[in-house]
Amino acid sequence: MPASRLTLSDKAGHAVHIFPTVKYAKQVLPNSASSCAFGETCEQLTYHSGGSVMQPFLSFYVIYWVPPHLQDGSATSMSSGYQTIEKNMVAGYGGHAIAAITTQYYEKGRTTSYVTGNGGLAGTTVDTDAYPSSGCSDSGVPTASNCFNDSQLQTEVKKVMAANGWTGGLNKMFLVFTSSNEGSCFDSGSSSCAYTAYCAYHGAISGSPDIVYSNEPYGNTTNCQEPSTPSPNGDPIADAAATSASHEMTEAITDPLLNAWYDSRGQEIGDECAYIYGTNTWDSAMANQMWGGHNFELQLEYDNHKKACESVGP
């Protein structure tokens, strides 16, 4: 992947790809007259030889990491309603409009294998393990030391997988949702942190098999949502977290190991359309997606065929 301020890597070569905050996106996404994110120039995604996509049937695992206390001893918070909204979005994502956009993307080996876009919720768990000792400093939360780094997150993902008998692979994704007022940064040097640089990110833990995962910080309407964005579930914070999660799911499906589908600037399928929602056709114009009787306001994703941001695939 070419140099990109949205892709972070450490000295060991581990990399993640971030969903930037509104403010950071306006700084790093190229600006020109068009219909893509913040007026940037739309650019088609290119397949990079040998890259992998997630397929055929996608299994999503939701981890709510909510111990009793943050690192400073204050109480954590994540309502059951918040958890339900995230679960409903993840559970119904496969086979519906946004997921259908991914079906035009593929990987090449002995044969060409296309993303099917089909999948579902394979498991959920509430993880009450204590947050690790502060591994970073995140100025985006009230107490900056309430913070874990990506290495600590990887450790927790593997721990939860072992406890639940879950295994990795490129047809599975593990989404970790965390408490309000809990921060995170990519590394212990706090070079890129939640609510200041990113709203979420996805990456993969190398192994046999690889483990695809995402960091889903608690929803934030100030830094991770455009003003006046509708809240179809009557919970703006949970709705903001849902669109961040759908962004990461779609990007992980088309570029799980950061070696498959992206443009010449290193932008993935979701970056092109960050914070663009299009026309709301559900819930009295409050939502642009609906499945299982649940409404969502989810950002559009980039359609290579139409060369535009779309809410439904071909």
**What does the block give as tokens for 6?**
């949205």
Tell whether 121 is covered by a domain.
Answer: yes
H helix intervals, 225-297 = 236-254
> What is the model's pTM?
0.96
Q: Is 180 within 8 Å of 218 (Cβ atoms)?
A: yes
Number of structural domains, the chain?
1
Place 27 in a pLDDT band, splitting at 50, 70 and 90. confident
| pLDDT at position 34 over 70 | no
Tell whether 1 is covered by a domain.
Answer: no
Tell whether 61 is covered by a domain.
Answer: yes
Other CB atoms within 10 A of residue 80 CB? 9
Distance CA 312, CA 281 (A): 12
Convert the pLDDT of each residue in 149-197 to its tens digit: 999 999 999 999 999 999 999 999 999 999 999 999 999 999 999 999 9
Tell whether 204 is covered by a domain.
Answer: yes
- Which of 235, 232, 239 is closest to 199 using CA atoms? 239
Beta-bridged to residue 25, according to DSSP, are none
Tell whether 69 is covered by a domain.
Answer: yes
Convert the pLDDT of each residue in 185-222 to its tens digit: 999 999 999 999 999 999 999 999 999 999 999 999 99
Provide, rounded to the nearest whole percent, the portion of the chain with pLDDT above 70: 96
Per the structure, the complete domain to which residue 24 belongs is given by 7-310
pLDDT the model gives residue 38: 67
